Amino acid sequence: MIPAARLLCVTMALALTTAAWADVPAGWRLVWADEFDVDGLPDPARWDYDTERNRAGWHNDELQYYARARLDNSRVQDGKLVITARREALATQPDYGGQQYSSARLLTRGKASWTYAYIDVRAKLPCGRGSWPAIWMLGTKGKWPVDGELDIMEHVGNKPGEILGSIYTGASNWPMGTARTDKVMVADACNAFHNYQLTWTPDRIRIGVDGRNYAELVNPKDGDYNKWPFDSPQYLLLNLAVGGVLGGEVQDSSLPWQFEVDYVRVYQP
């Protein structure tokens, strides 16, 4: 999801692994989960909010203001987390940066992070033009891109049903022209819940949907941190961006949008 001008990357497809199933690896156990079974704001023991660039403006020319602990933008209801983007200006907020849209960006930074994991997120996506929901991870060391980024799911309403999976490193990132991205079609992604999955081991990273992997990055095991920073912890993010270089033109009449998450489950050895 960061930084700006991601679309200028030359896409390098990950190796397709359509025969590989995205099951929980044998012997791994559930270590962290949110089933979203208590109505109200998301559990503060599990989630924080990322609002740090509201005043300055968000990366990728995104148009939203990310609200902190505001039920209109992030709430748990009927067993689901609902992240909602709205056409509104929250001009009374002290960190308001002139945005005409509100949304939310939840993250586990400072609360939970993992090194090697099987992550399973069941979600239903918005399809309004300009919507850009994402399920992704960033390195806890805080330096992008060298500490890595794992995009388990990205989707834009201007291309309904096209799911993107990406892996970013210091050696595989704009502007170097080697961004690693692959895609798969999920025709009813905006009408039904699907499972978006990451299998991360010391040997490889695989990205999948509904139990079938469609992308893979193999650890070169040459000791080059720029190529493989994934022996260090990463934290999880859930957000719904508005517009930007990937989200594209926003159709205001399609708002509000809802990004619904049924559960998040994390397994480790």
- The single-letter code of the amino acid at 235 is Y
- Token digits of residue 44: 């503060």
* pLDDT tier, 179 (very low <50, low <70, confident <90, very high otherwise): low
Q: Kindly report, residue by residue over 242-252, the tens digit of the pLDDT.
A: 999 999 999 99
pLDDT at 231 over 60: yes
The full 3-state SS of 66-112, as one line of letters, equals ECCCCCCCEEEECCEEEEEEEECCCCCCCCCCCCCEEECEEECCCCC
The pLDDT of residue 11 is 32
Q: Whole-prediction pTM value?
A: 0.92
Say if residue 175 is preceded by a cis peptide, omega within 30 of 0.
yes
Average pLDDT over residues 129-152: 96
Q: Which of 22-26, 89-93, 152-156, 254-258 has the lowest mean pLDDT?
A: 22-26
Active-site annotation holder among 62, 149, 216, 260: 149
Mean pLDDT, the chain, integer: 91
Domain ranges across the chain = 6-268
| Residue 149 annotated to the active site | yes
Check residue 1 and give its pLDDT. 57
pLDDT > 90? residue 16 = no
Give residue 10's pLDDT: 28
Which is the catalytic residue, given 154, 162, 216, 249?
Answer: 154
Q: Does domain 6-268 have CATH number 2.60.120.200?
A: yes
- Name the residue with tokens 């609200």: 67
For 18-56, what is each residue's pLDDT tens digit?
Answer: 446 878 999 999 999 999 999 999 999 999 999 999 999
